[in-house]
Amino acid sequence: MGGTMIIVFVGTAGSGKTSLTGAFGEYLEENYKVAYVNLDTGVKELPYKPDIDVREFVTVEEIMKEGYGPNGAIVESYDRLMNKFDYYLKEILELESKKDYVLIDTPGQMETFLFHEFGVKLMENLPYPLVVYLSDPEILRKPTDYCFVRFFALLIDLRLGATTVPALNKVDLLKEEQLEKHRKYFEDLDYLMGRLKFDPSMQGLMAYKMCSIMMEVLPPIRVLYLSAKTREGFEDLETLAYEHYCTCGDLT
Amino acid sequence: MGGTMIIVFVGTAGSGKTSLTGAFGEYLEENYKVAYVNLDTGVKELPYKPDIDVREFVTVEEIMKEGYGPNGAIVESYDRLMNKFDYYLKEILELESKKDYVLIDTPGQMETFLFHEFGVKLMENLPYPLVVYLSDPEILRKPTDYCFVRFFALLIDLRLGATTVPALNKVDLLKEEQLEKHRKYFEDLDYLMGRLKFDPSMQGLMAYKMCSIMMEVLPPIRVLYLSAKTREGFEDLETLAYEHYCTCGDLT
């Protein structure tokens, strides 16, 4: 393993993966050797200097010029990247042997990484990557949404075969009381369950059942609260990555 | 409700939503009045004639010409669509009052529909929509993947507040024995659990726990096996939509 920590930022388009990769890397560089990997074939500009950048091989915009629509071009770009899979894996593993941290910025559309062979196979071949699943606070409107985010993190873990920690990103945009509310829902399971009980819909009942039973079986992993702007939560993420590395992936 | 069934096709880019919307609509038109709604701002061509088409208002390619990258343009297109939310909701409800079926073809990138306010709010405002979650058989490689698909369907249900049925699409591309294998994993829970038991990874253990406990609490919904090419599974989908409508959304 060479003592290197691999951190992979995953999230929907607009959840702030790229900004966070840049800001967290800058923070780490104060004490460590950091490498950056960009796996997004559709990104226009990066706030960091990538050591590996898949856009050197293919971009979504190039493929669109061949006549593809945007959705087709995104999928096609990763189909083509599969031809270079061994090359990119080797390059990443080489960085891993030379740096303290390798930060991986994933495709703009989260589903490209979760559902395409490129993402799944890459994760299978990296040593103990830690996945940080970023959510925009905007998506948290109802009690069932907190349940959704927790379970989504479990599903990413299941799909990619890698420990996944849920993180609320862009917390600098939240008022103090909003952040407190989000923390309460994520960290006080009894509180969440109490709220879900008042939701008379089938989905409220389903969320109640899912949370009550699952949390018994699978102790919930911490939730991180991050900001690329204020560096909030960066120490927590650094600590968590270190613990993950020391325990070979078992954070529970 | 007016006796109209609203069926919403959801799935990742390339899972075959658009072809299936067209083919299933053609099948239904032999006996019913069918309306088509296209919510994909990025699609190039449709195999059906949409009654409502969001591309009349905005397209991803237009927005890219303003300087956005493909990922940013996709998100921006739905941000702009939010300004027309009331209009589109009203239009869809009007179709609902005139037709027997309303088929809704969702954004190319599934996450746009699941995470953007446009998709979530639309689903909250439609009467008893049935969501069909399409998976490409390509993503099913390991026993944990079957667990992933089942739970993903539950999460869509939770997020959109609508009954969601998982469907394996493009089954015409499978050999008979491949299809049998997929059916076995989806329908014989003991078999799946037995396989998961042999997976020594943390994810294997997690999938085992998730499946064993969850299936006790939430009886698994049927899985559909569909093909736009051969019409396989179309009768099953028609039956299921009818049952869903008659029971006001409770298929379990």
What ipTM does the predicted assembly reach?
0.92
pLDDT (0 to 100) of residue A1: 42
Which chain B residues contact residue A64 at CB under 8 A? 61, 64, 70
Q: Is A201 on the interface with B (CB under 8 A)?
A: yes
Kindly report the CA angle at A121 between B16 and B164, in degrees rounded to 5? 35
Average pLDDT value for residue range B138-154? 93
pLDDT tens column, B75-97: 999 999 999 999 999 999 999 99
Contact residues, B window 132-151, toward A, CB-based 8 Å cutoff: 136, 138-139, 144-145, 147-148, 151
Average pLDDT value for residue range B151-165? 93
Per-10-residue mean pLDDT, chain A, length 252? 85 96 98 98 97 98 96 97 98 95 97 96 95 96 92 92 96 97 93 90 86 71 94 97 79 56
Q: What is the pTM of this model?
A: 0.94
Please count the residue pairs, one from chain A and one from chain B, whose beta carbons lie less than 8 angstroms apart.
Answer: 156
Q: From the list A43, A158, A163, which residue is nearest B144 (CB)?
A: A158
Contact residues, B window 85-124, toward A, CB-based 8 Å cutoff: 108-112, 115, 117
Cα(A116)–Cα(A127) distance, rounded to whole angstroms?
20
A69–B61 C-beta distance less than 8 A: yes
B70–A157 C-beta distance less than 8 A: no
Q: Which domains does chain A have, with CATH numbers?
A: 5-250 (3.40.50.300)
**Mean pLDDT over each residue of chain B, to the nearest integer:** 93
Number of alpha carbons in the 13 Å side-chain half-sphere of residue B104: 27
A111–B13 C-beta distance less than 8 A: yes
Smallest CA–CA distance, residue B35 to chain A, in Å, is: 24
Cα(B101)–Cα(A219) distance, rounded to whole angstroms?
44
Q: From the list B12, B60, B203, which residue is nearest A158 (CB)?
A: B203
Instruction: Compare all CA atoms of chain A with the CA of B164 and give the residue at the minimum distance.
Output: A203
Smallest CA–CA distance, residue A153 to chain B, in Å, is: 11
Which chain A residues contact residue B148 at CB under 8 A? 155, 158-159
pLDDT (0 to 100) of residue B222: 87
pLDDT (0 to 100) of residue A101: 97
Cα(A71)–Cα(A105) distance, rounded to whole angstroms?
20
- Distance (Å) of CA A139 to CA A159, A203, B109: 22, 16, 17
Contact residues, B window 47-66, toward A, CB-based 8 Å cutoff: 60-61, 64
A209–B218 C-beta distance less than 8 A: yes
Which chain B residues contact residue A247 at CB under 8 A? none
Interface test with A, best of B111, B141, B214 (most A CBs within 10 A): B111
pLDDT (0 to 100) of residue A164: 94
Which chain B residues contact residue A163 at CB under 8 A? 202
Which chain B residues contact residue A130 at CB under 8 A? none
pLDDT (0 to 100) of residue B116: 95
Q: Is B8 on the interface with A (CB under 8 A)?
A: no
Of the two residues B247 and B124, the one the predictor is more confident about is: B124
Cα(A35)–Cα(A5) distance, rounded to whole angstroms?
10
3-state secondary structure of A248: coil
pLDDT (0 to 100) of residue B1: 42
Interface test with B, best of A38, A58, A62, A71 (most B CBs within 10 A): A71
* In A30-168, alpha helices (H): 60-65, 70-81, 85-98, 110-115, 117-125, 143-160
Cα(B235)–Cα(B222) distance, rounded to whole angstroms?
14
Which chain A residues contact residue B60 at CB under 8 A? 69-70
pLDDT (0 to 100) of residue A217: 67
The dihedral of CA A46, A48, A49, A53: what is its sign?
A: negative
A155–B155 C-beta distance less than 8 A: yes
**Mean pLDDT over each residue of chain A, to the nearest integer:** 93
Smallest CA–CA distance, residue B135 to chain A, in Å, is: 10
Which chain A residues contact residue B69 at CB under 8 A? 42-44, 60-61, 108
B73–A70 C-beta distance less than 8 A: yes
Residue B218 has pLDDT above 70, yes or no: no
Cα(A72)–Cα(A85) distance, rounded to whole angstroms?
20
A155–B75 C-beta distance less than 8 A: no
b/e code B217-229 from CB counts within 10 Å (16+ = b): ebebbebbbbbbe
Q: From the list A75, A161, A202, which residue is nearest B14 (CB)?
A: A75
Cα(B204)–Cα(B144) distance, rounded to whole angstroms?
6
